[in-house]
């Protein structure tokens, strides 16, 4: 029973951690300094959330692994984040599109999790939801500005959307762990969030003069089960190198 919950917490924690790690690379290199500030705030929120989810995962597991042991001690195959968040930053359009597609799902997921039968999950979700509401507002703002800005920004964002689209389907995948947890009222059924997500993404795309890709297009799967893209290995190599070079010490 705890296996499923452990998996679910890793998924939540790894999504936040991997996306934060991606955003960290923007700091000092953003298109305008105000955006560096904003991206840093989003990344800080996500690191905070990752710590809460992973710490809980470690406790449930009961093998003495804390947030850092989980973040720094697992290889790519043991990471449970969706493929979407590990996609490279690309240009600012790709970063914004990735953020928006994720935020829209993240917001719906956390909203549902506030009613989780696991009180601790519900509490973490309630805290994270406030942060993610702001993330979603901001990424929506930028979808509009890039989509309905100049011809160049429109083309870039449309391309980014099409490029990332095949990673969006996985957000609504369900496996045996999900089935167990749904039955226990711990998590929402992933598919139950899809219609609302499609509607929201569609509305923002329309307002941003973008064409939303086909909802039934071919989708990639596997991140939630530990089958990742090539990108995650490099991301982890960078993130984990110090604790791996100097094992067993405190920082």
Partner 1 sequence: MYAQMVDTGASRLRSREEMDADEQAFQARIDDGQKIEAQDWMPEGYRRTLVRQISQHAHSEIVGMLPEGNWITRAPSLKRKAILLAKVQDEAGHGLYLYSAAETLGVSREQLVDDLHTGRAKYSSIFNYPTLTWADIGAIGWLVDGAAIMNQIPLCRCSYGPYSRAMVRVCKEESFHQRQGYDLLLALCRGSEEQKAMAQDALERWWWPALMMFGPPDADSVHSAQSQAWKIKLLSNDELRQKFVDQTVPQAEYLGLRVPDADLRWNTERGHYDFGAIDWSEFHAVLKGNGPCNRERLQARREAWAEGEWVRAAALAYADKHAAAERHSQAA
Partner 2 sequence: MKDWPLWEVFIRSQHGLAHKHVGSVHAPDAALALKNARDVYTRRNEGVSIWVVPSAAITASAPDDKAALFEPAQDKIYRHPTFFPVPEEVKHM
In angstroms, give the least distance from the CB of 141 to partner 1: 9
Q: Which does 218 bind (CB under 5 to 8 A by kind): partner 2, partner 1, none?
A: none
Q: For partner 2, give the closer residue by CB, 32 or 119.
A: 32
Neighbour count for residue 85 (Cβ, 10 Å)? 26
In the complex, least distance from residue 41 CB atom to partner 2, rounded to whole angstroms: 5
Q: Which does 137 bind (CB under 5 to 8 A by kind): partner 1, partner 2, none?
A: partner 2
CB of 104 to partner 1, least distance (A): 20
- Smallest Cα–Cα separation from 137: which of 53, 209, 215, 41? 41
Q: Look-up: residue for tokens 């001690």?
A: 73
Residue from the set 51, 80, 107, 138 that interacts with partner 2 by CB under 8 A: 138
Which residue reads 């493929």 in tokens?
83
49 binds, among partner 1, partner 2, none (CB under 5 to 8 A by kind): none
Smaller CB separation from partner 1, 176 or 242: 242
**What is the smallest separation between the CB atom of 137 and partner 2, expressed in angstroms?**
8
CB of 43 to partner 2, least distance (A): 12
φ/ψ of residue 30, rounded to 5: -70, 170
Subset of 4-33 contacting partner 2 (CB under 8 A) = 32
Give the interface with partner 1 as residue ranges (CB under 8 A): 17, 21, 24-25, 27-37, 40-41, 43-44, 47-48, 50-51, 54, 67-68, 71-72, 91-92, 144-146, 148-150, 152-153, 156, 238-239, 241-243, 246, 249-251
- DSSP label of 29: T
- Can you point out the beta strands (E) in the chain? none
Side-chain-side CA neighbours of residue 159 (13 Å):
11
Distances (CA, A) of 251 to 28, 242, 247, 248: 24, 10, 11, 10
Measure the CA–CA gap between 244 and 246, rounded to whole angstroms. Answer: 5
CB of 30 or CB of 213, closer to partner 2 = 30
| CA distances to 34, 40, 148, 186, 204 from 144, in Å | 18, 21, 6, 35, 7
**Is residue 141 a contact residue for partner 2 (CB under 8 A)?**
yes
Query: What CA dihedral angle connects 11, 74, 53 and 251, to 10 degrees?
Result: -150
Distance CA 246, CA 251 (A): 10
Q: Between residue 41 and residue 70, which ones bind partner 2 under the rule CB under 8 A?
A: 41
Q: If contact means CB under 5 to 8 A according to the sort of partner, which of partner 2, partner 1, none does residue 138 touch?
A: partner 2
With binding defined as CB under 8 A, does residue 38 bind partner 2? yes
State the residues that interact with partner 2 by CB under 8 A. 32, 34, 37-38, 41, 137-138, 141, 145
């Amino acid at each position: 029973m705890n296996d499923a919950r452990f998996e679910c917490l890793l998924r939540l924690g790894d999504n936040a951690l991997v996306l934060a790690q991606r955003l960290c690379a923007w700091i000092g290199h953003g298109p305008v300094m105000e955006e560096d500030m904003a991206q840093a705030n989003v990344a800080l929120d996500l690191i905070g959330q990752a710590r809460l989810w992973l710490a809980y995962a470690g406790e449930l597991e009961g093998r003495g692994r804390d947030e850092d042991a989980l973040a720094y001690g697992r290889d790519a195959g043991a990471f449970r984040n969706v493929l979407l968040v590990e996609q490279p930053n690309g240009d600012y359009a790709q970063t914004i599109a990735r953020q928006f597609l994720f935020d829209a799902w993240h917001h719906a997921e956390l909203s549902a999790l506030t009613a989780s039968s696991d009180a601790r999950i519900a509490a973490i979700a309630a805290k994270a939801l406030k942060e993610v509401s702001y993330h979603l507002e901001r990424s929506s703002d930028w979808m509009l500005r890039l989509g309905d800005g100049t011809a160049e920004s429109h083309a870039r964002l449309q391309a980014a959307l099409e490029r990332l689209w095949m990673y969006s389907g996985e957000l609504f995948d369900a496996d045996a762990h999900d089935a167990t947890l749904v039955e226990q009222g711990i998590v929402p059924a992933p598919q139950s969030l899809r219609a609302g997500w499609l509607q929201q993404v569609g509305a923002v795309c329309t307002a941003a003069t973008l064409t939303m890709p086909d909802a039934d297009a071919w989708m990639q799967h596997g991140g939630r089960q530990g089958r990742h893209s090539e990108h995650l290995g490099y991301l982890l190599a960078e993130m984990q190198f110090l604790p791996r070079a100097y094992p067993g010490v405190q920082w």
